């Protein structure tokens, strides 16, 4: 199988954007965890763990909004 240069560049750009999105998501998780999860630890998480943490963060944000308690 061979790809032309343009398709390879497009594929690499797509992979780079996906990597950036994952890193941004991990940094958000670290921020919400307030030091309970380091960036190095976050990098070792699998997709299942990252998804579960995101769900917990979302649930906690919704509970905070409903309760009227300050988030920060």
Domain limits at 55?
25-63
Q: Is residue 15 part of a domain?
A: no
Q: Are 37 and 30 in contact (CB under 8 A)?
A: yes
Pick 72 or 43 by higher pLDDT.
43
pLDDT by residue (tens digit) across 8-18? 999 999 999 99
Contact in structure between 37 and 29 (CB atoms under 8 Å):
yes
The tokens for 45 are 């998480």
Any domain includes 10: no
Is 8 part of any domain?
no
Residue 24 predicted with pLDDT over 70? yes
30 is a domain residue: yes
Q: Is 45 inside any structural domain?
A: yes
DSSP H helices in the chain:
5-33, 39-43, 47-67
State residue 69's pLDDT score: 82
Q: Is the pLDDT of residue 25 over 80?
A: yes
pLDDT (tens digit per residue) in 34-61: 889 999 999 999 999 999 999 999 998 8
pLDDT at 1: 62
Could you give the number of structural domains in the chain? 1
């Amino acid at each position: 199988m061979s790809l032309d240069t343009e398709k390879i560049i497009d594929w690499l750009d797509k992979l780079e954007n996906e990597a950036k999105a994952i890193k941004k998501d991990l940094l958000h998780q670290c921020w919400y965890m307030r030091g309970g999860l380091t960036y190095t630890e976050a990098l070792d998480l699998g997709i299942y763990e990252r998804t579960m943490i995101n769900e917990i963060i979302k649930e906690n944000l919704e509970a905070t909004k409903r309760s009227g308690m300050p988030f920060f």
